[in-house]
A and B are shown apart, each in its own frame.
Chain A
Amino acid sequence: MNYLDSLIKSMEWLSDKDDTLFIGQSVKYSGNSIFNTLKTIKDKKKIEMPVFEDLQMGLSIGLALEGYVPITCYPRFDFLILACNQLINHLDKIRYMSNNKMKPRVIIRTSIGSKHPLNGGVQHTQDYTEIFKKICTEIDVIMLNEPQEILPAFKHAYQRKDSKSSLIIEHGDYYNEK
């Protein structure tokens, strides 16, 4: 199974769970590559968001505090930068702040923008994986390099007993190359 099909299968596996929701811009409507992995997911499992990246991340935390498992989608790593207040100051610190009583499980999807055949340029193709591994103390940061890693990574993110959140990074070029 190739990279794209593995992502589609993973999203279908997640969508079978009662408590999951897919949120972000272009989860219902076309506009980016992540949409291509969500075409088979029913609209009732999706919440199309405005462009308000930080609010989207906080909203995802709030949904998770009430028992949902949001799969919150940021089509490019460059856009996730705009959600860093909620990601780093809140989601990554909430366990410590709440004496481990609040354990929101958020699955964050983002992608390194592709450079082939079109190069998206410096604001659309950055890879901040190593920086996020350093800055996140609680959130698990995972890079999806090979197709066979994809479904296990999403299953682990959903099932892990410690309910920690996961930042799962895709590579836009692998959608075509692997």
Chain B
Amino acid sequence: MNIKIPKNLKKVRTVNLTSEDLITFEKKIQKVYENGDINAPVHLSSGNENELISIFQYVAKKDWVFSSWRNHYHALLHGIDENYLFNEIVEGKSMSTNSTNPNFYSSSIVGGIIPIAIGVAQAIKLKKQNNKVWCFIGDMTYETGIFHEAYKYSKNFKLPIQFVVEDNGLSTNTPTNEAWGIKSKNISEDIIYYKYERGFPHHGTGNWVLF
């Protein structure tokens, strides 16, 4: 596992879910989807179970978590009820899982979560609360202008936000490095970064489904 946690972070949670639990959940979704019972795209996670279990030891229950269209693992690890999540996905909300207990926001627009995460972090700072914001983004989102504006702003104002870059090398099926002409990456040490290989396609399961 190639993951480096910034030294200022402390473990605050015992993660009870195992990688097998996460994999089993997505396989359950896969089965329902392949039965043609979900009339919306599903974005299944796979291949980053251990990295996320490691990271969520540092995420407190009172923290806000922001994720993307591929959010099932993050939602489960932050404590969203498995049955609630399952029903939401079956209802067609795989791409936009949201919750107020625990606080969790996801969006299916590339980079869409980042400004909102910054606003929540600014509010937390204004109110002098001791929780924080976790913002999980992919490798293509990391390269966008909105990320760089937001990161600069959060750093300059010392906002309580932790960015995590999850690099599977692809944006839908476009190789991020090829599209940007990137030869090497120099990620700041205050950003958690890890590489992984996705086990499912961008959306769906890789199998033909008749709806």
Q: Which residues of A contact B (CB under 8 A)?
A: 47, 50, 52, 54-68, 85-86, 89-90, 94, 97-99, 101-102
Contacts and interface: CB of A to CB of B under 8 A. Distances in A.
A63 B122 CA distance: 7
9 contacts: A47-B122, A55-B146, A56-B115, A59-B115, A63-B120, A66-B127, A68-B126, A89-B112, A90-B107
A97 B104 CA distance: 12
Interface of B: 93, 96, 98-100, 105, 107, 109, 112, 114-124, 126-127, 146, 149-150, 153
Chain B interface, >50% SS class: helix
Contacts of A67: 123
Contacts of A90: 107, 109, 112, 116
B120 to A, nearest CB: 4
B146 A54 contact: yes
Given A97-B96, A101-B99, A101-B100, A65 B119 contact: yes
Contacts of A52: 149, 153
Contacts of A66: 119-120, 123-124, 127
Contacts of A68: 123, 126
A86 B123 contact: no
A86 B149 contact: no
Cβ-closest 9 pairs across A and B:
A62-B119, A58-B115, A66-B123, A59-B119, A62-B120, A98-B98, A97-B96, A55-B115, A62-B116
Given A60-B119, A89-B107, 9 more contacts: A55-B146, A58-B119, A61-B119, A62-B118, A67-B123, A86-B112, A86-B116, A89-B109, A98-B105
A64 B123 CA distance: 8
A42 to B, nearest CB: 15
A62 B100 contact: no
Contacts of A47: 122
A135 to B, nearest CB: 15
A62 B121 contact: yes
A69 B104 CA distance: 20
A87 B43 CA distance: 25
Contacts of B116: 58-59, 61-62, 65, 86, 90
B115 A61 contact: yes
A50 B152 CA distance: 11
A133 B193 CA distance: 42
A58 B112 CA distance: 8
A87 B150 CA distance: 17
Contacts of A94: 98
A6 to B, nearest CB: 29
Nearest to A98: B98
